[in-house]
Structures are given as structure tokens and as C-alpha cells.
């Protein structure tokens, strides 16, 4: 997750500074503290990704591996290319060259929605809620494989009504977990900045992902909600994400 100040199990920005605690999960204890070090069980592997805009090189990553089930932080100043790198990995932009894979599946040329269906989802630094839909409707939109989305099936409620009830129940469970259940009938555009961050994270979980990529999860969030967000991030890891 691009972040300026966020505790992580592993910092993927190279050798850890001397004043940063070096404790790490058992799976990473034997991994050298150097850029591009091989991981025991990487869920994402990146090779030679490069993205330029005119004469500006925004991303130039020789090799990167992200360990499965570990909170990993991508650290750098504003303008370093963190969000651009996220965009490349998740299909929102295409690099000038290089290759990358998720859980063994090559992602080069795959559209963002196909990447999400594989189980790699992301949130945005500037939240992208559907403002004129309710909080609950935003959540339901996040579920994949909905039978009612097919044009021919939409006119046959018997084919999708039970699935929609299951999706709604799961959405409400997540809203309760993120303490947004009281807001489910409110328009998403009426939420505070911190609540939108929570909604976006909860909506990402409707995909039932293996990897959640959070872009500046604490930016613009008041201190009371920061601790809540941190707790949710840790809980994702505890569930194997």
C-alpha cells in the first residue's frame, strides 16, 4: 500500500533504516534486506516494468516480489510513482515494457475488471464511491458473477433473486464489520472522507480477494478512524489476504 506512515510486516523499499524495527513474519526471516529479494511464496512477481510519460520516467522496477499473506508497504515521497505502479499492476494503465503475474497468472494486457476477478483488487487515493447510489447499493455493485447482470436473465427474477439476497446479506455483514451499517440507506456521496475509505475497503472485500492493494489508506482520515482502518487492515492479513 502506498503510504507515508503505516506499520507493515515488510517494507518493500529496500534495506530497512537502522531506526526501523526489523521484526518480520517467520516466512520472511531468511529474506535478505535488499531490493528485489526473492520471497518464499510470492503472490505477485514483477519483472522489468517501466512506464514513461514523455521524457519523465514514472516507474522503473527491475524486479519485485510480494509475499503472500503479509502486509507490505510501498514507501516513497509524493510523485515517486507509487499510484502509477498500482495502476500498472491492476490493469488501469499499461506499461511500456515488462511482465508481471498474480498467483502464477500473467497479467500483461488484462483489463482491470479481469484482474479483479482473479482476486487482486485495489482502492484509490481519491475514493471512487458511486455518490448517487446508497451505501448498500455500492456494496452490492462490488460482488462478482451476478446472474442478474446478464441482459437475457435480468427479465427473469427467479434466476437471480436468491443470489441477490445472499449478496445483500454478505454486504450487510461487511457494513456491520466496518461500522457503516447505520448508513446503509444513505447516499454514498453524503459520507465523510474517512467513511468513504471504509466503504471502499468493504466494497473491495465483496470480490472475496486474495490481495487487497490500498492506495494511501490513511490520507485525509481523522485520527479516530485511522485506528479503525489499521485494525481492518490487520484483520485482512489474519484472514490470509
Which residue ranges make up each domain of the chain?
1-118, 130-209+222-241
Q: Is 50 exceeded by the pLDDT of residue 86? A: yes
Which neighbouring-strand residues pair with 64? 46
Q: In this model, does residue 18 exceed pLDDT 60?
A: no
pTM: 0.76
C-alpha cell at 181: 451499517
- Sequence-distant (≥ 6) Cβ neighbours of residue 70 within 8 angstroms: 9, 10, 25, 27, 28, 237
1-118 and 130-209+222-241 share one fold: yes
Please report the pLDDT score of residue 112 as a whole number.
92
pLDDT band for position 128 (cuts 50, 70, 90): confident
Range 72-92 average pLDDT: 91
What number is the average pLDDT over the span 174-202? Answer: 88
Whole-number Å distance between alpha carbons of 195 and 41:
34
- The residue with greater pLDDT, 97 or 153, is 97
Please report the pLDDT score of residue 82 as a whole number.
Answer: 92
Q: What is the CATH number of domain 130-209+222-241?
A: 3.40.50.300
Asked whether 175 and 137 are in contact (CB, 8 A), the reply is: no
172-183 tens-digit pLDDT: 999 998 888 999
Give the span between the Cα atoms of 150 and 13, in whole angstroms. 44
Q: Which of 11-15, 69-73, 101-105 has the lowest mean pLDDT?
A: 11-15
Predicted confidence band at 96 (pLDDT cuts at 50, 70, 90)?
Answer: very high
The cell numbers describing 133, all together, are: 447510489
Confidence band (pLDDT; 50, 70, 90) for 2?
low
* Cell 510470492, residue located: 42
Average pLDDT over residues 11-15: 42
**Regarding the domain delimited by 1-118, which CATH topology (the fold level of the hierarchy) does it fall under?**
Rossmann fold (3.40.50)
Q: What per-residue confidence (pLDDT) applies to 9? A: 52
Which residue bears the cell 456521496? 189
Per-residue pLDDT at 106:
95
Among the listed ranges 18-27, 45-54, 66-75, 192-201, which one has the minimum average pLDDT value? 18-27
Amino acid at each position: 500500500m502506498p503510504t507515508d506512515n503505516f506499520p507493515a510486516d515488510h517494507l518493500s523499499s529496500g534495506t530497512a533504516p537502522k531506526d526501523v524495527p526489523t521484526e518480520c513474519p517467520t516466512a520472511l526471516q531468511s529474506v535478505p534486506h535488499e531490493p528485489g529479494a526473492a520471497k518464499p511464496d510470492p503472490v505477485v512477481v514483477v519483472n522489468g516494468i517501466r512506464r514513461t510519460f514523455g521524457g519523465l520516467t514514472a516507474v522503473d522496477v527491475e524486479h519485485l516480489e510480494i509475499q503472500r499473506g503479509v502486509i507490505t508497504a510501498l514507501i516513497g515521497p509524493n510523485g515517486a510513482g507509487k499510484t502509477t505502479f498500482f495502476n500498472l499492476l491492476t490493469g488501469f494503465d499499461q506499461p511500456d515494457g515488462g511482465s508481471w503475474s498474480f498467483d502464477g497468472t500473467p497479467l500483461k494486457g488484462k483489463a482491470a475488471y479481469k484482474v479483479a476477478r482473479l482476486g487482486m483488487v485495489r482502492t484509490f487515493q481519491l475514493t471512487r464511491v458511486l455518490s448517487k447510489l446508497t451505501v448498500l447499493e455500492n456494496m452490492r455493485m462490488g460482488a462478482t458473477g451476478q446472474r442478474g447482470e446478464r441482459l437475457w436473465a435480468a427479465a427473469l427474477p427467479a434466476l437471480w433473486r436468491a443470489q441477490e439476497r445472499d449478496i445483500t446479506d454478505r454486504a450487510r455483514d461487511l457494513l456491520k464489520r466496518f461500522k457503516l451499517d447505520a448508513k446503509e440507506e444513505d447516499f454514498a456521496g453524503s459520507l465523510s472522507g474517512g467513511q468513504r475509505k471504509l466503504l471502499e475497503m468493504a466494497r473491495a472485500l465483496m470480490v472475496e480477494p486474495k490481495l487487497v492493494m490500498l492506495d494511501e489508506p490513511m490520507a485525509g482520515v481523522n485520527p479516530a478512524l485511522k485506528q479503525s482502518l489499521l485494525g481492518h487492515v490487520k484483520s485482512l492479513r489474519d484472514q490470509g489476504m
